[in-house]
Structure 1
Amino acid sequence: MVSDCDGVLIDSEAVALDALLSALQPRFGDGERLVGLIRPLLGRELAPLLVEVFGECGADASEAELAAIRALVEAQCDLRLALVPGVASAMAAIALPKAVASNSSSARVHAALGRTGLAPLFGARIYTPDLVGSAKPHPGVYLAAAGGFDVAPGACAAVEDSVTGVTAAAAAGMYVLGFTGGGHIVAGQAARLRAAGAHATFDAMAQLPGLIDALTKPRA
């Protein structure tokens, strides 16, 4: 099983959205429009997300601005680090090898998993753009995770909360479960995830072990 980190393991996407708004609203105003621009892009790497938002607002983002906003977002995510409710017990109940495929840096993923106690569940099986060379929606992190298990991608289940992540996992050929229980999720997300390639969706981590168990049982 392969899981995204932010929004699936760590309930950080809502924090990131708040931090981005606090950084961008003084310059661009219209917080409601900014939320509408940012929310669909959550799950992407931060730099291209910012470049797209700046472009939609008719501005260019300098390297200094990108670095400053990244530092703000990362500081807030570190300060308000919290697990998605129920994820620790759900992951512990799944008796399968596990990996993380994230658009965050490997250092940040390892640090977050270490601070929240999830690290032993995943070990060294962390796949990120700085290690793999490509970011979601490219399937590279998911293909690398399957390679780490030494199995075909079609033998893996992926858990994602964003259209970007679902697109990546589906392109890799995995069975994709879309999670809609994070603090950042809004109405209609389940339909968006299914349209991006999710085979099923769920909104509470207590449901995940049963969904995975159903996938691993031999079919009659």
Structure 2
Amino acid sequence: MTDAHSPPALVIFDCDGVLVDSEPISLGVLTRGLNQIGLCLDVETVRARYAGTSMVSIMQRVATEDGIAPPEGFAERVKAETLEAFEAELTAMAGIAAALTEFRLPFCVASSSDPVRLRRSLGLTGLLPFFDGRIFSSAEVARGKPFPDLFLHAAARMGAEPAACLVIEDSVPGVQAARAAGMRVAGFTGGGHWGHDRTGRELLAAGAARVFTAHADLGRIVAAG
């Protein structure tokens, strides 16, 4: 049995909003697209409803919950516009490269983003060399977050027991997925989409053991387990 306070055997990072400050960009593109097809939501509502979930899940929810069938090619257009915006605006999260350089534990990335966007995000921000060969996307599993499939898949591929893993997440579905997988989880609220309230109350309520706002504290968070 793994001691809940022992250092993890594997750290699993989400990508968007944890490694790269992508959420303000991607949520803005998504909000504009949804507005254009008749779903009148502001970007904060879009964040609350969809952050941390895959485009497949978002399109399913728009159809079932809002009764709007996105036009053919809508998801592909949003993805293309998001990548175009990334080329001009995307940055790595402050302090993450330095933190990863000093990291001494096994780690990987497991993201709701599709493989093309995921690798492009890491490549544009200079983080790809840290994760190459240890990149896992929700496209590889049957169900995305908040289901545990992706995190269990990443742990299995990395040879780690779920209870020995620590997940770093910035979204409620991600925290829920980690907890459903039987993993410990810390919430990160350093991304631009958190605005002025970085307390992470919703992440704590979803099951995060603790919340932090700067990757300078990553070592301490990991040591706490």
TM-score by length of 2: 0.85
Give the aligned partner of residue 5 of structure 2.
none
Deviation at 1:206, TM superposition (A): 0.9
1:203 maps to amino acid: T
Mapped to 2, the partners of 1:29 and 1:40 lie a distance apart of 13
Mapped to 2, the partners of 1:27 and 1:151 lie a distance apart of 43
Give the aligned partner of residue 218 of structure 1.
none
Residues 1:90 and 2:137 aligned together: no
SS in 1 for 2:193: coil
1:43-192 equivalences in 2 (<5 Å): 43-53=52-62, 57-186=66-195, 187=197, 190-192=200-202
Q: Deviations over 1:62-119 (max 9, x none)?
A: 3322332232223223432211111111222221111000011223222322332222
Identity of aligned residues (%): 36
2:26 to 6, 13, 16: 16
Q: Deviations over 1:138-195 (max 9, x none)?
A: 1111112211221211111110000011111111111100001100114376111111
Mapped to 2, the partners of 1:20 and 1:189 lie a distance apart of 25
Mapped to 1, the partners of 2:20 and 2:38 lie a distance apart of 29
2:212 to 202, 209, 218: 202
Q: Flag the 1:51–1:92 CA change in 2: closer, same or farther, 3 A.
A: same
Q: Is the 1:10–1:83 Cα contact (8 Å) retained in structure 2?
A: yes
Give the aligned partner of residue 203 of structure 2.
193
Q: Is the 1:50–1:61 Cα contact (8 Å) retained in structure 2?
A: yes
Q: Flag the 1:129–1:197 CA change in 2: closer, same or farther, 3 A.
A: same
Give the aligned partner of residue 6 of structure 2.
none
Mapped to 2, the partners of 1:134 and 1:31 lie a distance apart of 26
Deviation at 1:198, TM superposition (A): 0.7
Deviation at 1:197, TM superposition (A): 1.4
2:74 maps to amino acid: E
Q: Relative to structure 2, which stretch is displaced further, 40-49 or 65-74? A: 65-74
Q: Is the 1:157–1:176 Cα contact (8 Å) retained in structure 2?
A: yes
Mapped to 1, the partners of 2:153 and 2:39 lie a distance apart of 41
Mapped to 2, the partners of 1:52 and 1:35 lie a distance apart of 17
What value does the CA root-mean-square deviation take over the aligned residues?
2.2
Structure 2: where are the runs of 5+ without partners?
1-10
Structure 1: where are the runs of 5+ without partners?
216-220
SS in 2 for 1:184: helix
Greater relative CO (CA pairs within 8 A, separation 6+)? 2
Mapped to 2, the partners of 1:37 and 1:59 lie a distance apart of 15
SS in 2 for 1:28: coil
SS in 1 for 2:200: helix
Q: Relative to structure 2, which stretch is displaced further, 170-179 or 117-126? A: 117-126
Aligned residues: 214
- The structure with the greater share of residues assigned to helix is 1
1:195 maps to amino acid: A
